Chains A and B, each alone.
Chain A
Amino acid sequence: MKVPLAWRILTYDKRRTALALIGIFMAILLVFVELGFFYAVPRGGLLLYDNMKFDLLLASSEYEYQAQPGAFPLGRLDSVRSSPDVQQATPIYFGFAKWKSGEGGMWPDVFLIGFDPASHVFIPDSINRQTGVLERADMVLVDSATRPMFGPLDAGRVVEIGDRKVTIGGQYVLGTGFMGLGVVLASTANFARLFPQRGLNIVNLAAIQLKPGADPDPAAENLRKAVGPDLQVFTRKALEAHETAYWTTRTSVGIIFGSGLLISFVVGIMIVYQIVSTQVGRQLPQFATLKAIGYPDRSLAGTVSAMSLLIVVAGFVPALGAALGLYSVIRQETLLPVAMSEMRLLAVFAAAVAMALISALLSVGGLRRAAPADVF
């Protein structure tokens, strides 16, 4: 009788129930949004890696996170290449320079990535289609998410980067993540022209592709022994864990969205509690009657819990739909890779059920007052 009774109470006053649904919808939506941001930030930090082909990543022992990678001599790659597991080791160069062709005479900083286009180390088709463009002297590709303050990004535009004039050969689609406001891809030869004092002997990272069938974990272990303690070898899994830990624990991201998450959870409880306890209050004589004809407290508490659960589940479904829509808006507006995952969906559902049960627990207190003698 619990669920049908709860259903009847809820559908008796449709207007009030609709209100409850909107409230719980908003609270669950907010939980989704805060959680989305929380995970999107490390995802943004991993954007470049997610778009690169490698099984292992070689970095200096000073590597902190992608934007502070440290550096090591190119010659150290020789020992890596001689390992029996390794198919290809591609050096990756990072550099910052002034983009002296910004809007309004501004010189925004641009992040440059140097690599050998023949290595095809990047996944996006828009890069691999344009390797011929990258090979041309003083021609570069610009990320399509580069901000408007860099001026037009049309192919053929000549811009000054550092002290050198280069031609934009085209755009590619990857995203700027947390690399900077603008990102440029250059061949190693063009990278060396842009940073003449640095040359190509100092490398920031190396993307290692293993031979088919090689297991990354033991291969990484072998490489660690071969390269020594001043270099580190990341498997993809270890790299993801490392970057995520950086963004969630070293920056304010964790606490900002974490506290937002917590408060939206409490707000959700408050809404359901508000609705359910009002209903309990309004139906008090009826509950008292049920008690008088012999229904135990436990059964009435079950009805109240069923009411909360029904409201929350009914609010969850549209909130999930709205969250998916909102995620795509956020992706476009903020360039943050906010996305849904099954784990997060389940976690939010569990949180919603918890909201329902906690608010039911709070409302049941009012039910105890349902003494038949008092009501009549």
Chain B
Amino acid sequence: MISAINIAQEALAAEQSALNTTANNVANQNTPGYTREIPSFTTQDTYLLNGYQQADGVTAGTPTSVRDRVLEQRVEQQTQVSSASSTLETALNSVQDVFGLTASSTSTTVTALGTAVDSFFSSLTGLANNPSESATRQEVLSAAGNLATAFNTASTQLTSITNGLNTDALTIVGQVNSLLGSIASLNEKIAVQDPNSDAGVLEDQRQAAITQLSQYVGLDQITTSNNGIDLTTSNAGLLVAGNLSYPLTASLVGGAVQITAGPNNTNISTGLTGGSLGGTLTALDTSIPPIVSNLDTLAYSIATAVNAQNELGVDANGNAGQALFTIGTTAPGSAGTIAVAVTDPNLVAAAGAGEGSSGNTNATLLANLVNANIAGGTTADSYLASTLAQIGEAASNATTDSTLQSTTLAQLTTQQNTLSGVSLDEEASNLTEYQRSYQAASQLFSIIDTLFASALNFGVVTSVS
């Protein structure tokens, strides 16, 4: 009888503990990173009574958090990829804006620079047709000025984007550092309180901090003894080791962001991927420099070709021609510094040598530069078109990738919330629902593919172009 009472009391206590756990779950429903705890019932020892095996009731153990590191790490990895991709997309869209490109058109004619290049060569054709008219000479100088301004403006805007990204990188490093100390401190508390089992709320807090850190930088995790997690950057820069944190340092060296990590201040700037810091560094180190370089090459090529040709001719005063553009001795920086060197329209050398100052031979040769392979082995217009196409393609790819990565992240987060979050729905029914959605989307993919193929192959004229 006493035993029966004991069993009943233990069962009641266990039920109460389970109720407390449920109440705790509901109370924390909106706490970021909170992981649902499930009550753990353990059967007490059995004993023999009157020849029958009797159970001694149940007791409630410490609640166990419903977590799985595989899923948590997938969410973190996807967060890193998605954040990097979104940052790169933003940067490349800004670059696209500099040139006035849109998602649907990368034609040179829609850009200020393309228009300026075309107008400049058109003005030279006008000069060849009317070499004696001061208005056509003035038009050449005006068009040259507009061309230089278009280069200068694009260069200034690209520099501004680069400077903004440099500042972003320094800010992000500050945000990373503010989280590292918290994670190290939580490692220490977990090692003391729960070295061999789930640490519940403390692990939730650490997980939330790691997920937040994943938005900023690509991470690798190492699970250590005493329930600890050590962290490094994606390229092995040490961030957290047990209860110690190693803040990153960031500085501008020669205009480039340099990041160091770990106790030896190792330079980890190269190869740091993931998170908004990784996306920012990719934009700074990989995406923007070729665009700046191409812009400089184009400015330098046009200026040096025009200068060389103008110096071969005779100006309206009967003197040998001189440089029309001020330009450096090498291409780097040319887009930012190109300027018109002369203000007197009579200094445009339209005539050829020995032709007299009213000739047009040199003006024709200047105008013909529009078809000459003066920039990177091709014409100025083709070179610009190719550069704009590269920018458009890079921005388009970044947008596609960012959409994909954020969609995948949204889905993983939904699934994590189902399994590890506070959910009143049954997981089984959710899985069935997921499967149903997957099948519906697969079916839609097939329908659209068929419609697409029909429109392309069978010439549905009102359909896809």
To the question of whether A and B form a pair in one complex, the answer is no
Interface residues of B (CB under 8 A from A): none
